[in-house]
Amino acid sequence: MTRKKVEADEKLIHKITIRVSDPFLKKMEGWLSKSNSNSLGELARLILYKEEIIWYHKDESKETLSVEMTAIRKELNAIGTNINQVTRYFNSTTIPAQKIFEALKVLDEYNKVKSVVEKLTVLINQLNNGRQSD
């Protein structure tokens, strides 16, 4: 695969060498990791030409909320599976005492759902409060 042809006046034919301090190099490498540039040279050119640099930012607080919400989703799936199993046992038995026992198991699982939904509500409120402050 060949490279895209560039206009003669856009070719990068002149080399400029500069020296920078170690702290400044580390700062530029930090900028590079958070920008849309692929190399330090490209980043330096964008700065010299005063062109637009797109900066990427990752919000760590939302990352933790996402992890917690994923855990809640897994927990709800497990509870749903338990409810389905208990319901199957409930429908398969003809003994009234066994049906009551299985119904109590389902009630216990629904109580678990209630506590998980409360956790989820707290997380959603945190997420909404974070958006309002942005």
Residue ranges per domain, the chain? Answer: 12-48, 60-133
Average pLDDT over residues 30-36: 85
Residue 66 above 70 pLDDT? yes
Q: With 60 as the cut, is the pLDDT of residue 48 above it? A: yes
**DSSP assignment, residue 10?**
G
Distance from C-alpha of 18 to C-alpha of 9, rounded to nearest angstrom: 23
As a whole number of angstroms, the distance between CA 106 and CA 84 comes to 9
User: Following CA atoms 15, 20, 22, 27 in sequence, which dihedral angle do they give, to the nearest 10 degrees?
Assistant: -90
Give me the half-sphere count of Cα atoms (radius 13 Å) on the Cβ side of residue 53.
22
| CATH class of the structural domain 60-133 | mainly alpha
Tokens of residue 71, six digits: 């855990």
One-letter amino acid of 61? S
pTM, entire model: 0.46
Percent of the chain's residues with pLDDT above 90:
2
